[in-house]
Chains A and B, each alone.
Chain A
Amino acid sequence: MSIDLKTIKHISKLSRISVDEKKAEKLASDLNSIFDFIEKLNELKTENVEPLTSVAETTLKLRPDEVKSKNLREQIIKNSPKDNEDYFVVPKVIE
């Protein structure tokens, strides 16, 4: 299989990572060598195998739905690159 530049552009859009032509070519070549390596899995027949989603053989514990942390506003905003006291500020989305 081969990952072409069009696919790279598509994945970069899904990943929200901008990619120029030069970077796209390098990524295509890297990803192709990595996927050649991954293709090895096709040697195995797995129709009747249950997928393993978690190695922690435990059922998720339930807890009472109680508020434990309070007044975290300042802490939450503290690291934002741009804020307006109570809000995160982003480029305008609605005209």
Chain B
Amino acid sequence: MSDITKQTLSELVANIKEKKLSSSEVTKAFVDRSEKSKELNTYITEDFSNALDKAKKFDDKPNLDLKLPGIPMAVKDLFCTANVRTTAGSKILNNFIPTYESTVTQNIWNEGAILIGKLNCDEFAMGSSNETSFFGNVQNPINKNLVPGGSSGGSSSAVAAQLTPITIGTDTGGSIRQPASFTGTVGLKPTYGSCSRYGIVAFASSLDQAGPMAQNVKDCALLYEVISSYDQKDSTSIDFKRNHYSKELTNDIKGIKIGIPKEYRVDGMPKEIDDLWQKGIEYAKDCGAEIIDISLPHTNYALPTYYIVAPAEASSNLARYDGVKYGFRADGENLIDMYEKTRSEGFGAEVQRRIMIGTYVLSSGYYDAYYLKAQKVRKLIKNDFDEAYKKVDAILTPSTPSSAFKIGEKTNDPVSMYLNDIFTVPVNLAGLPGISIPAGHDSKGYPLGLQIIGKAFDEQNILNIAYAMEEKINFKNKITDWWIK
């Protein structure tokens, strides 16, 4: 069977279950394509030969009852994988080989999938373009020298370029949905507490969530069903009734009430984005949804809030990188000097900037003015959503304020980089699920995404809306394989 890598995850699963394809054939196809795609720089660590061995072992004794039988999968390099290097895109973890496995990846391997490699990302997931990675830029398969978004940029690029049938990313302020939008793929940020954070390199613990990044909504639902689980190893994991999301997926969304928040029509938003949003509203109506205007009055305060809360938590989480227990160490004259040099040489500029912001807002005399204030505004932002959900079942917005930009275009202006996450950050602050689906192209032919935000634990509903709209939108990604060697 040719064109294995062009198949969707659901098709591959069906073909393996029906014994039309073996895991070895599928794994080899994705490994071969990955080998030819080095120019994209999606992988930090390849695990190709182990993957081929595991595929052979699977074929010798196939368990076809599993949900991901013998499916090869590359994952973001923020997930700890036992005995496979995990760097978080940082020099400071350049030589770190975990002795344990993250719960989310363990759930994936338990369903039969096979690790093929670890995907590039912004350093400690801090970035919106994958340009802060110690391992270099990632190319967006849509066009040369275009960023793939971030922080899950290796993941979005790998799925769009079909180097892996599906993948996982993490999303603290938009790091799944924004790169999905920039590459014409589907990305789901689940409700906080839905997927275990155990074994994920921590960035901002009250915001971080893992989620699937896929070619289509059905695949996304299937992987979400696999990774979402209650886990005692994560004290904020929540024990709620999880659905068979892929089985219960339906395009019947008649009568569903979808809110359109007027505050998301921000100053200076390109007309193309507004047009796309209008088109999205029409698609939703075509699907039988009822459109209702709503207000989320504190939307404008979400980014400033995020840029206090996330760096504060990061500065605390990243205190563990001291050159003693694991990772990179620089020599120093004494213990303090060793700490300071290790962290100065081991962390990149953006990570240092955020640690500094976080340390400052938590420091004596400033805590109330910044951190406490931000937590209070966070409450107001969450209240906005609670209020809106008395009237509607879900909310439709654009995913990003622009399409993908050029590599290097925003690296010198941190605030303009941060503005990328304007539509995604409020969702993390409120702990809600959000999904980005490709919905059209801009005048340059670059993909644009729409975001559907749900109530907490209502992933089934937003997956259904996304599924119904995906059918109407009928998006086709324009990818030419320009990088293939």
Interface positions of A (Cβ within 8 A of B): 3, 7-8, 10-12, 14-19, 27, 30-31, 33-34, 37-44, 46, 49-56, 58, 60-61, 63, 75-76, 78-82, 88, 90-93
Q: Is the interface of B mostly helix, strand, loop or mixed?
A: helix
Question: How many cross-chain pairs have Cβ atoms below 8 Å apart between A and B?
Answer: 160
0/1 interface trace, chain B 284-321, chain A, CB 8 Å (1 if under): 00000000000000101101110110000001000100
Identify which of B334, B353, B360, B456 gathers the most chain A CB atoms within 10 Å of its CB.
Answer: B360
Query: CB distance B206 to A40 under 8 Å?
Result: no
**Known contacts A11-B356, A78-B99, A91-B334, A46 near B373 by CB under 8 Å:** yes
Q: Pick the contact of A41: B344, B356, B374, B430 (CB < 8 A).
A: B374
Closest chain B residue to A81, Cβ basis: B329
Scan residues 336-378 of chain B and give those whose CB is less than 8 A from a CB of chain A: 336-341, 343-344, 347, 352-353, 355-357, 359-360, 363, 370, 372-378
Q: In the complex, how many angstroms separate the beta carbon of A20 from the nearest chain B beta carbon?
A: 9
B429: A residues at CB distance < 8 A? 55
B373: A residues at CB distance < 8 A? 41-42, 46
Q: In the complex, how many angstroms separate the beta carbon of B432 from the nearest chain A beta carbon?
A: 8
Interface positions of B (Cβ within 8 A of A): 95-97, 99-100, 192-193, 206, 232, 235-236, 238, 298, 300-301, 303-305, 307-308, 315, 319, 322-329, 332-341, 343-344, 347, 352-353, 355-357, 359-360, 363, 370, 372-380, 382, 414-415, 418, 429-431, 456
Q: Pick the contact of B307: A12, A34, A54 (CB < 8 A).
A: A34
Q: In the complex, how many angstroms separate the beta carbon of A8 from the nearest chain B beta carbon?
A: 7
A93: B residues at CB distance < 8 A? 334-335
Query: CB distance B324 to A54 under 8 Å?
Result: no
CA distance A16 to B330 in the complex (A): 13
Query: CB distance A51 to B97 under 8 Å?
Result: no
Query: CB distance B324 to A46 under 8 Å?
Result: no
Query: CB distance A18 to B340 under 8 Å?
Result: yes
Q: Pick the contact of A37: B193, B304, B326, B370 (CB < 8 A).
A: B304
In the complex, 19 of the A-B residue pairs with CB atoms within 8 angstroms, ordered by the A residue number, are A14-B363, A15-B355, A15-B356, A17-B347, A18-B341, A19-B344, A27-B353, A31-B357, A33-B415, A34-B414, A40-B304, A43-B301, A50-B376, A52-B378, A60-B235, A78-B99, A90-B335, A91-B334, A92-B334
**Known contacts A16-B339, A50-B379, A79 near B327 by CB under 8 Å:** yes
A19: B residues at CB distance < 8 A? 344
Query: CB distance B322 to A16 under 8 Å?
Result: yes
Closest chain B residue to A39, Cβ basis: B304
9 extra A-B contacts, CB within 8 A, seeds A16-B319, A49-B376, A90-B338:
A11-B360, A16-B343, A34-B353, A56-B238, A75-B100, A78-B97, A81-B324, A91-B332, A93-B334
Query: CB distance B375 to A52 under 8 Å?
Result: yes
